[in-house]
Amino acid sequence: MKSFMVFLIGLLLSLPAMAQKKADLKALDAYLAKAIKDWNVPGMAVAIVKDDSVIFSKGYGTRTIGKNEPVDSHTLFAIASLSKAFTTACLGQLVEQGKLHWDDKVTDHLPYFQMYDPYVTREMTVRDLLCHRSGSATFGGDLIWYGTNYSRDEVVRRVRYLKPTYSFRSHYGYQNIMFITAGELFPVLTGKTWDEYVRENIFKPLGMHETNTSVRALEGNPNVATPHTTWNGQAITVPYRNVDNAGADAAINSNVHDLAKWIRVWLSPDTSTWAVSASTRYELWTPHTLLPITVDASKRFPSTHFRAAALGWFTFDYEGRKIIDHGGGMDGMISKICLVPEENLGFIILTNSISSLSSAIEYSILDAFITGSEKDWSREYLNLIRASEAKEKADEQKLEHDRVKNTQSSLPLASYAGVYGGPMYGHVKITAEGNGLNIQFLPTASFKGRLTHWHYDTFRIELEDRSLPKGLVNFILDKNGNVSEMKIDIPNPDFDFTELELKKLPNDQ
């Protein structure tokens, strides 16, 4: 018995050492350097916080492909939806000040707010805005704000025309427009814009002096990452898109130097240094809307038993730890933030290319600190992406195969010209030129391009904006044989063009 007790005491004393795995940062550094080459990602920055210290902060690659512009810890990237957590933290401050309650009705503060369903309008709470259960599909309504000339206020007013996909609070659907709506609470409750409030109450107190909330603030800064995408199999640069109208949803630009300070705050047990209490932090990290876990995902991540949307964050379990994370995506930029409170661990990954590299790196870092596994997540994700690309190529080949050859449009090209539109998005203009048609989305200046005949009354659409692939436009004729409507389908993971109502308007409109 005595020997057993000695063994048991020895085991208990060894547990802290077992739990606190020491990651090999040198090996991780080499892995990250190899990963960006394998993925053909121009540049990346990574910072890791452990036990309230920044233990790793480094840049990889170049800010702009083909140029000697090294990425470093101060290189600015668009962090897109990582902005959401800043918004919910600020709203948490207002809750603590008694200016707001999470379950206030949105219309109590924004009387003009309206959803498609009157019941949802009446019942929608601030909490509902922040946890992706509005009833709209993932990315539903994003074409209202993405690259348009609409103000934040106008974006919110047009939400009323977006038809729901699910019943209210019954289904997860990732929403950007609901966070834009949440941002409009700040002028009402504080007399300040969302930009002013987050700058004064988050950036300044935390010393995040290089972080900003507008693409315009990047002008003249020499250390800014250039966005990249892939076009016809080649990496190309794309311009920054002005998303100031997204505000509270996706407008922040930052770097790993500043974001490491943000991470330290969330992991610190001392919340007296800024105005979000431990109870508010708990509320923000509490699961609100369950996400489905597919059979394939459960096989790939057998230790993950749940995934859920919290308030401005996502949460799931991995190898017995609760993970708090979020991803961000904007034209040519993908980012990831991850917190493991039980390990006093957090990290940020910023890349200047559209790829899933940040997700692969997330699991590589988690394993480095938690499991010690040397599983090559970069290779596994690359294989998944290549399979997806092969499917896309097969779909494109099938589309070409199904095309009916040697057909003509029902009407002369001039008959398709005109202005089409509806109350949610606005107007799209078609003009006839040569042997094709030109298209211009009037609210979105960059959405312009060419329509060429495909078959019957369907045309191939190719926009000059390289953020989107080719698609199809189908013109619909009424009973008199006149063009009455057009439907646009540009297959892509971010925007649903089929939700646009585009009726042909009389010539005087």
Residues 248, 150 share a domain: yes
- The answer to whether position 351 is within a domain reads yes
Give dist(CA 116, CA 160) in Å, integer.
5
What CATH number does the domain containing 82 carry? 3.40.710.10
* Token pair of 120 as six digits: 């949802």
The pLDDT, as a whole number, for residue 7 is: 37
Nearest to 343 by CA among 52, 84, 136: 52
- The answer to whether position 51 is within a domain reads yes
- The answer to whether position 341 is within a domain reads yes
Residues 338, 226 share a domain: yes
Residues 329, 239 share a domain: yes
* Token pair of 179 as six digits: 């966070």
Residues 441, 372 share a domain: no
| Number of domains present in the structure of the chain | 2
State the amino acid at position 79 in one-letter form.
I
Residue 115, classified by CB atoms within 10 Å of its CB into exposed (0-12), middle (13-18) or buried (19+), is buried
- In the DSSP assignment, the letter for residue 224 is B
Please, what sign has the CA dihedral across residues 390, 395, 396, 401?
positive
| 3-state DSSP helix/strand/coil % of the chain, to nearest 5 | 35, 25, 40
Helix (H, G, I), strand (E, B) or coil at 351: strand
Residues 320, 225 share a domain: yes
Give dist(CA 75, CA 42) in Å, integer.
13
Phi and psi dihedrals of 246, rounded to 5?
Answer: -80, -25
- The answer to whether position 48 is within a domain reads yes
Residues 204, 136 share a domain: yes
Q: Tens place of pLDDT for every residue, the chain, 509 residues?
A: 444 343 333 433 344 434 456 889 999 999 999 999 999 999 999 999 999 999 999 999 999 999 999 999 999 999 999 999 999 999 999 999 999 999 999 999 999 999 999 999 999 999 999 999 999 999 999 999 999 999 999 999 999 999 999 999 999 999 999 999 999 999 999 999 999 999 999 999 999 999 999 999 999 999 999 999 988 878 899 999 999 999 999 999 999 999 999 999 999 877 665 657 889 999 999 999 999 999 999 999 999 999 999 999 999 999 999 999 999 999 999 999 999 999 999 999 999 999 999 999 999 999 999 999 989 999 999 999 999 989 989 999 999 999 999 999 999 999 999 999 999 999 999 999 999 999 999 999 999 999 999 999 999 999 999 889 999 999 999 999 999 999 999 999 999 999 999 999 997 55
- The answer to whether position 399 is within a domain reads no
Given a contact cutoff of 8 angstroms between Cβ atoms, the answer to whether 193 and 201 are in contact is no
Given a contact cutoff of 8 angstroms between Cβ atoms, the answer to whether 349 and 336 are in contact is yes
Residues 425, 380 share a domain: no
* Token pair of 184 as six digits: 């409009």
Residues 228, 80 share a domain: yes
| Neighbouring residues of 358: CB distance < 8 A, sequence distance ≥ 6 | 327, 334, 335, 336, 349, 350, 351
Q: Within 13 Å of residue 337, how many CA atoms lie on the same side as its CB?
A: 27
State the amino acid at position 191 in one-letter form.
G
| Neighbouring residues of 379: CB distance < 8 A, sequence distance ≥ 6 | 38
- Give the position of tokens 């609409």: 150
Residues 383, 418 share a domain: no
Give dist(CA 395, CA 105) in Å, integer.
45
The pLDDT, as a whole number, for residue 10 is: 44
What CATH number does the domain containing 479 carry? 2.40.128.600
Residues 383, 432 share a domain: no
* Token pair of 30 as six digits: 């080499």
Residue 145 structural domain = 23-390
Helix ranges (DSSP H) in 184-288:
185-190, 194-198, 204-206, 256-267, 278-284
Kindly list the distances between the CA atom of residue 502 and the CA atoms of 426, 480, 499, in Å, as whole numbers in the listed order.
8, 19, 9
Residues 39, 144 share a domain: yes
Helix (H, G, I), strand (E, B) or coil at 176: coil
Give dist(CA 165, CA 81) in Å, integer.
22
Residues 496, 376 share a domain: no
Entry pTM = 0.93
- The answer to whether position 6 is within a domain reads no
Please, what sign has the CA dihedral across residues 131, 136, 138, 141?
negative
- The answer to whether position 16 is within a domain reads no
- Cα of first residue to Cα of last residue in the chain, in angstroms, is 92
Q: Which run of H or of E encompasses 34?
A: helix 25-38
Please, what sign has the CA dihedral across residues 237, 433, 447, 334?
negative
* Token pair of 75 as six digits: 């290189």
Given a contact cutoff of 8 angstroms between Cβ atoms, the answer to whether 418 and 475 are in contact is no
Helix (H, G, I), strand (E, B) or coil at 445: coil
Q: Which run of H or of E encompasses 109?
A: helix 106-109
Give dist(CA 119, CA 215) in Å, integer.
37
Beta strand extents in 42-171 (DSSP E only): 43-50, 53-61, 77-78
Give dist(CA 204, CA 498) in Å, integer.
43
Q: Which residues of 462-497 are buried (b: 16+ CB within 10 A; e: fewer)?
A: ebebbbbeebbbebeeeeeeebeebbbebbeebbbb
